[in-house]
Amino acid sequence: MAKTEIQVLDKTFISALSAAEINAAVEKVSDQLSRDYADKNPIFLMILNGAFMFASDLLKRTTFPAQIASIKLSSYEGMLTSGKVREVIGLTEDISNRHVIILEDIVDTGTTMHGLIPELKHKGAASVEVCAFLHKPEALIFEDARPKYIGFEIHNLFVIGYGLDYNGYGRNLPEIYILKQD
């Protein structure tokens, strides 16, 4: 299959993961979650904005009772990480004694998850696991943020599509694209 190039704002991106590959990975993760949480009544905690496509596709495939909540977090100021997580839209559901599955678009350094996981445990979660569509193991700084459930492990490259963006654009693309290196 030939690689497709697209232009998003001032950057060129090259196709990396097709919609079919994404669907297969989501199905694999759904099967893993169904085995592990079938009798646990978990709550899925979707991280906005990036995880919305992954969460939607994944949750349609789950076969067990679960609740869904969402929060919006940020550890970035412009193009750089601040190193601190600030909550933008908060969690309103009671998670006491609940198994929480965080749905994240991508885990790279782990800064966001490193800040969020202790907060959820402090609120009384019975367990907290991270389920990430993409994981960049080369970039991971915080070991406690390593996802248990992963759609794809990728190199430390800038990616867009399937919920991930470049300056707010590209989230709606059904495939994953990597930034073209000149």
- Among residues 39, 108, 144, 182, the one annotated as catalytic is 108
Q: Is 108 tagged catalytic?
A: yes
Contact 146, 130 (CB under 8 A): yes
CA atoms within 13 A on the CB side of 63: 9
Encoded tokens for 146: 């390593």
Q: Where are the alpha helices (DSSP H) in the chain?
A: 19-37, 52-61, 111-122
Task: For residue 101, give Cα distances in angstroms to 37, 69, 148, 181.
Answer: 10, 10, 10, 35
Q: How far apart are alpha carbons 21 and 33 in whole angstroms?
A: 19
- Catalytic residue numbers read 108
